[in-house]
């Protein structure tokens, strides 16, 4: 037997590009991709009965081994592709990565087929998982070794790549026999999939006595497999041409035959089972009259599903013409669905049915790694013939991230991004490939200890976020590109190159005179002074509150240096920056622990000077402000280019995410009001409790964070400005903020006052009341304040209220909040209330809503019941 490594290198020799686009000859019929897994390279074939071209999988996968079944075990009628399998004795996850000819957004029928056939002579059918991308598609279980298992799905590609993966669940060796992709009509009227993809449960061709086995391509141009069912022993059929002219293009041979009943009074009965009562079931029934009826004959019937009328109108199939019946909404709530078709009173003929299809909706996560990143990393993989278990999606699922990669999962479009690539000591040869620059989010690139040669390419400086570049232990020639040196000088790039490389030995020396360090020193003076004034008691209060063991951070160390953390402590705290919580213009936020307390660590990305300034602002502000509704500072790190701020951890992310609907308690007006009040109190403190007053400048739902108890706290003080102490009543600044939340008055006048925050807060309140974004996604991109104002002026305020409250709120409470929000968003800033006033009114709104609960049975959640600190929060009685 070939060893896996030997086999790998054989495969790699043929590897030109690890994900070849479908070649012309593979694409037969056009758009089809048919892979015979385990088929040896060079034995591709065309099946004579269908004309479908099946190709070997050897250039699509670089793991697993090809195995053959004993011919005796393969049924004579079976497809040829069952005679070999690709088996995966090694690795927990093995994947086919396919780039179909029609990419993202296209609708495909994807079919995976399996037949064990005792190929490994172990006589033990394995059980394993089949994944599509990051999600489980299905569990593969065999009834017996000669049974075929087919999994089929109708799926709209969420990326240009499809990753079909086999997951070892420690119950035998995963394998696969064949993988088939068939493009469908993209029109939304063919298999409308609102609730996810559609997994085939069954697809039946009712046959007459003729009997015709399985119908597929070319009779079905989409190569759906129609299994014949001899339902009643009584069938009808026609040899005449029949019209299958609706979008489903049901094969004519399926329509030509139908089942009926012998006794005209009897209903037609059949059923299918699903795995779970929560499955959403989509049913398509196809009817066509195959008998020429006399003038006084009528065939009319109704369809009942679990004894409930399912067809909205009596069905009279058209002569030699298809009628497809399907509901707009899926069925759910049962595991058995029994169909009864009985004739109507006046019908003179028994019911018929020609075919049906049943699917269960399945949601796949839309995410996956950004395609540009996938394409770049696949190019890197093939260019360097990387032999690692690089399979499937590079970043997802999170516990299968490719070796040597780190990813961030919080980019704006929700696709994962590659932020670190470590190919140290991986035997790489040749030059640095240009596609690396397509990993635009890369922060760390470690190519050390390989045998790379050629020039160090200048394009590396296009990686705007790159802060660590290690090229040591290679064989580069020529000078180091000036831009990289400059970045190093600026202190935004930690560059490691061999000492003996060219004439640039000196660049290894640490330059302590670089600009950012000077900025850093200023910051640290500010920070230290502030720390002395405010720091130590808080340190005790917060970091050591739970007084547990400090994890790798020495307690006396912390106390001596106040809240200052060294970079290596930050590395420990974040467990080497393992978990990214989010990111913004400044850089990324990581999860970590100080002692037993969870913290969020915001690291400044070295790419912008604006970032430094904001960072500095934020750090020094946080030093002097303390309020239960402002995120509090745990410490900071200021070591050369490594600048970070460590905050208390806010377990429930932001109000923005909360409102997007994944959290518990989203349906309660009362809970939202409490959050609004929390945020208002934080802002009130900044405006009226601080001297000089502080203008936040970026109040928005994503800057209001929620802790474990869903207590809201204002965060992100990077844009904040201290109000001039005496004298002026405003500050002139460059306009900053977030569209939709920016005060238009400020935008025009450039005069910043605390009333700009009040405007933004009003927008936040409107977003919380309506559940809509600040700028509506309609054609006119109406601002939410205008929209609510319009609705209020035209009558019923409840029309503007988030429908997810289900009408459960006190109208007066909502009225008051809407009025408040509209006053806050007045164009004329002098008409806007102060935050003192806002807090008072919100307390009133909350009191009204709470008294509603006193009057009606409590209908909210219990999630706050354990928090003793929150006096205003409703208690479960």
Ligand X SMILES: *[C@@H]1O[C@H](CO)[C@@H](O)[C@H](O)[C@H]1NC(C)=O
Residues tagged in the binding site annotation for ATP: 602
Q: Which is nearer to ligand X, 312 or 691 (CB)?
A: 312
**In contact, 286 and 248? CB cutoff 8 Å:** yes
Q: Which is nearer to ligand X, 4 or 468 (CB)?
A: 468
> Taking CB under 6 A as the rule, does residue 269 contact ligand X?
no
**Pairwise CA distance, residues 173 & 168, whole Å:** 7
**Pairwise CA distance, residues 649 & 601, whole Å:** 9
Q: Smallest distance, Å, CB 632 to ligand X?
A: 31
Q: Smallest distance, Å, CB 703 to ligand X?
A: 23
Structure tokens at 780: 């006119």
Task: Write the Ramachandran bin of 824: left for phi over 0, alpha for psi from -120 to 50, otherwise beta.
Answer: alpha
Beta strand 257-260 pairing with 268-273: unpaired
**In contact, 684 and 610? CB cutoff 8 Å:** no
Q: Which is nearer to ligand X, 91 or 502 (CB)?
A: 502
Q: Which is nearer to ligand X, 580 or 842 (CB)?
A: 580
> Taking CB under 6 A as the rule, does residue 103 contact ligand X?
no
> Taking CB under 6 A as the rule, does residue 475 contact ligand X?
yes
**Candidate list 124, 171, 185, 321; residue touching ligand X; CB under 6 A:** 185
Q: Smallest distance, Å, CB 190 to ligand X?
A: 6
**Pairwise CA distance, residues 124 & 144, whole Å:** 9
Binding-site sequence positions: 602
The one segment of 228-236, 545-553, 593-601, 804-812 that binds ligand X by CB under 6 A = 228-236
Q: Which is nearer to ligand X, 56 or 261 (CB)?
A: 261
Q: Which is nearer to ligand X, 437 or 811 (CB)?
A: 437
> Taking CB under 6 A as the rule, does residue 396 contact ligand X?
no
Q: Which is nearer to ligand X, 334 or 422 (CB)?
A: 422
**Candidate list 502, 640, 740, 744; residue touching ligand X; CB under 6 A:** 502
**Pairwise CA distance, residues 362 & 383, whole Å:** 36
> Taking CB under 6 A as the rule, does residue 462 contact ligand X?
no
> Taking CB under 6 A as the rule, does residue 307 contact ligand X?
yes
Q: Which is nearer to ligand X, 108 or 119 (CB)?
A: 108
For tokens 């296209």, the residue is: 106
**Candidate list 17, 25, 187, 521; residue touching ligand X; CB under 6 A:** 187
- What is the DSSP track for 460-484? GGG-TT--EEE--SSEEESPPPHHH
Q: How many helices and strands (H and E) does the chain possess?
A: 16, 46
Q: Smallest distance, Å, CB 573 to ligand X?
A: 17
Query: Buried b vs exposed e over 106-139: b needs ≥16 C-beta within 10 Å?
Result: bbbbbbbbbbbbebbeeeebbebbbbbbbbebbe
Give residues 344-383 in contact with ligand X (rule: CB under 6 A).
Answer: 370-372, 375, 379
Q: How many residues bind ligand X (CB under 6 A)?
A: 38
H or E element at residue 846: helix 835-855
Task: Write the Ramachandran bin of 92: left for phi over 0, alpha for psi from -120 to 50, otherwise beta.
Answer: alpha
**Pairwise CA distance, residues 127 & 314, whole Å:** 45
Catalytic: which of 698, 716, 745, 802?
Answer: 698
> Taking CB under 6 A as the rule, does residue 324 contact ligand X?
no
> Taking CB under 6 A as the rule, does residue 207 contact ligand X?
yes
**Candidate list 188, 230, 554, 796; residue touching ligand X; CB under 6 A:** 230
**Pairwise CA distance, residues 714 & 722, whole Å:** 16
Q: From residue 368, how far is each of 19, 163, 371, 409 by CA, in Å?
A: 17, 10, 8, 9
**Site string (128-167) toward ligand X, x via CB under 6 A:** ----------------------------------------
**Site string (797-836) toward ligand X, x via CB under 6 A:** ----------------------------------------
Q: Smallest distance, Å, CB 463 to ligand X?
A: 11
Q: Smallest distance, Å, CB 434 to ligand X?
A: 4
Query: Buried b vs exposed e over 768-795: b needs ≥16 C-beta within 10 Å?
Result: bbbbbebbbeeeeeebbbebbbebbeee
> Taking CB under 6 A as the rule, does residue 209 contact ligand X?
yes
Q: Smallest distance, Å, CB 235 to ligand X?
A: 7
Q: From residue 699, how far is each of 577, 714, 719, 754, 846 by CA, in Å?
A: 28, 8, 10, 11, 21
**Pairwise CA distance, residues 75 & 72, whole Å:** 7
User: What φ, ψ does residue 504 adopt, rounded to 5°?
Assistant: -105, 25
Give residues 679-738 in contact with ligand X (rule: CB under 6 A).
Answer: none
Indicate if 698 belongs to the active site: yes
Q: Which is nearer to ligand X, 455 or 632 (CB)?
A: 455
3-state secondary structure of 336: strand
Q: Smallest distance, Å, CB 247 to ligand X?
A: 4
3-class secondary structure per residue, 494-554: EEECCCCCCCCHHHHCCCCCCHHHHHHHHHHHHHHHHHHHHHHHHHHHHHCCCCCCCCCCC
Q: Smallest distance, Å, CB 758 to ligand X?
A: 35
**Pairwise CA distance, residues 352 & 253, whole Å:** 16
For tokens 């040869």, the residue is: 429
CA-nearest of 537, 531, 734 to 645 is: 531
Q: Smallest distance, Å, CB 424 to ligand X?
A: 4
**Pairwise CA distance, residues 474 & 424, whole Å:** 10
Q: Which is nearer to ligand X, 185 or 707 (CB)?
A: 185
**Pairwise CA distance, residues 238 & 208, whole Å:** 10
> Taking CB under 6 A as the rule, does residue 10 contact ligand X?
no
**Site string (415-444) toward ligand X, x via CB under 6 A:** x------x-x----x----xx--x-x---x
Which residue lies nearest ligand X, judged by its C-beta?
211
What does the binding site for ligand X look like in residue numbers (CB under 6 A)?
185, 187, 207, 209, 211, 228, 230, 233, 247, 267, 304, 307, 340, 342, 370-372, 375, 379, 413, 415, 422, 424, 429, 434-435, 438, 440, 444, 446, 451, 453, 468, 470, 475, 479, 502-503
Q: Name the residues annotated as catalytic.
A: 698
């Amino acid at each position: 037997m070939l060893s896996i490594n030997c086999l790998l290198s054989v495969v790699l020799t043929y590897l030109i590009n690890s994900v070849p686009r479908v070649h012309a000859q593979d694409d037969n019929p056009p758009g089809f991709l048919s892979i015979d897994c385990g088929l040896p390279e060079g034995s591709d074939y065309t099946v004579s009965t269908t004309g479908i071209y099946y190709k070997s999988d050897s250039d699509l996968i670089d793991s697993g081994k090809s195995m053959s079944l004993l011919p005796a075990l393969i049924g004579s009628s079976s497809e040829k592709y069952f005679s070999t399998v690709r088996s995966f004795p090694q690795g927990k996850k093995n994947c086919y990565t396919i780039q179909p000819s029609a990419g993202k957004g296209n609708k495909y029928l994807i079919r995976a087929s399996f037949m064990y056939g005792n190929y490994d002579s172990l006589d033990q059918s394995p059980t394993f998982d089949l994944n599509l991308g990051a999600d489980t598609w299905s569990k593969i279980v065999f009834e017996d070794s000669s049974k075929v298992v087919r999994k089929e799905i109708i799926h709209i590609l969420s990326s240009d790549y499809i990753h079909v993966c086999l997951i070892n669940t420690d119950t035998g060796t995963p394998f696969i026999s064949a993988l088939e992709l068939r493009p469908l009509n993209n029109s939304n009227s063919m298999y409308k999939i609102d609730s996810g993809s559609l997994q085939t449960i069954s697809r039946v061709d009712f046959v007459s006595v003729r009997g015709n086995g399985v119908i597929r391509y070319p009779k079905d141009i989409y190569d759906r497999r129609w299994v014949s069912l001899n339902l009643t022993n009584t069938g009808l059929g026609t040899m005449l041409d029949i019209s299958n002219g609706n979008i489903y293009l049901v094969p004519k041979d399926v329509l030509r035959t139908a089942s009926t009943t012998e006794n005209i009074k009897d209903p037609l009965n059949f059923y299918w089972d699903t795995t779970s009562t929560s499955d959403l079931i989509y049913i398509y029934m196809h009817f066509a009259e195959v008998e020429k009826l006399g003038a006084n004959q009528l065939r009319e019937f109704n369809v009942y599903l679990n004894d409930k009328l399912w067809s909205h109108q009596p069905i009279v199939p058209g002569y030699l013409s298809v009628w497809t019946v399907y509901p707009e909404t899926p069925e759910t709530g049962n595991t058995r669905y029994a169909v009864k078709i009985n004739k109507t009173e006046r019908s003179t003929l028994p019911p018929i049915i020609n075919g049906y299809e049943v699917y269960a909706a399945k949601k796949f996560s839309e995410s996956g790694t950004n395609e540009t990143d996938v394409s770049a990393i696949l190019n890197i993989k093939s260019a360097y013939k990387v032999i690692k278990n690089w399979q499937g999606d590079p970043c997802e699922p999170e516990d299968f991230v490719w070796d040597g990669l780190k990813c961030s999962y919080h980019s704006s479009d929700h696709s994962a991004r590659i932020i670190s690539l470590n190919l140290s000591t991986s035997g790489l040869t040749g030059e640095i490939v240009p596609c690396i620059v397509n990993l635009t989010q890369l922060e760390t690139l470690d190519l050390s200890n390989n045998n790379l040669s050629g020039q160090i390419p200048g394009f590396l400086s296009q990686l705007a976020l790159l802060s660590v570049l290690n090229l040591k232990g290679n064989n580069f020639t020529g000078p180091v590109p000036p831009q990289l040196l400059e970045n190093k000088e600026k202190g935004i790039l930690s560059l490691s190159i061999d000492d003996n490389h060219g004439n640039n030995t000196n660049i290894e020396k640490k330059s302590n005179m670089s600009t950012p360090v000077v900025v850093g020193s200023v910051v640290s003076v500010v920070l230290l002074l502030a720390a002395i004034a405010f720091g130590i008691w808080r340190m005790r209060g917060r970091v050591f509150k739970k007084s547990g063991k400090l994890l790798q951070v020495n307690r006396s160390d912390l106390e001596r240096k106040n809240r200052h953390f060294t970079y290596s402590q930050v590395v420990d705290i974040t467990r080497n920056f393992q978990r990214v919580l989010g990111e913004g213009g400044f850089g990324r936020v990581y999860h970590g622990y100080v002692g037993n307390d969870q913290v969020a660590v915001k690291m400044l990305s070295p790419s912008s000077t604006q970032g430094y300034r904001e960072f500095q602002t934020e750090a020094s502000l946080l030093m002097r402000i303390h309020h239960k509704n402002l995120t509090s500072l745990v410490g900071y790190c200021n070591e050369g280019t490594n600048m970070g701020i460590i905050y208390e951890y806010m377990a429930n992310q932001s109000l923005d995410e909360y409102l997007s609907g994944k959290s518990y308690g989203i349906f309660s007006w009362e809970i939202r009001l409490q959050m609004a009040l929390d945020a208002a109190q934080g802002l009130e403190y900044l405006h009226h409790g601080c001297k000089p007053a502080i203008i936040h400048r970026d109040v928005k739902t994503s800057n209001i964070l929620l802790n474990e108890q869903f207590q809201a706290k204002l965060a992100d003080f990077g844009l904040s400005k201290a109000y001039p102490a005496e004298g002026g009543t405003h500050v002139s600044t460059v306009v900053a903020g977030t569209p939709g939340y920016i005060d238009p008055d400020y935008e025009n006048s450039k005069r910043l006052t605390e009333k700009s925050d009040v405007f933004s807060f009003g927008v936040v309140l409107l977003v919380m009341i309506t559940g809509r974004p600040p700028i509506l996604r309609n054609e006119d991109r109406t601002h939410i304040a205008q929209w609510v104002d319009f609705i209020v002026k035209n009558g019923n305020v409840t029309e503007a209220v988030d429908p997810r409250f289900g009408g459960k709120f006190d109208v007066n409470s909502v009225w008051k909040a809407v009025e408040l929000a509209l006053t806050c968003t007045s164009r004329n800033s002098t008409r806007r209330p102060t935050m003192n006033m806002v807090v008072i009114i919100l307390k009133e709104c909350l009191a009204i809503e709470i008294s509603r609960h006193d009057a009606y049975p409590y209908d909210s959640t219990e999630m706050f019941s354990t928090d003793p600190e929150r006096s205003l929060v409703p208690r479960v009685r």
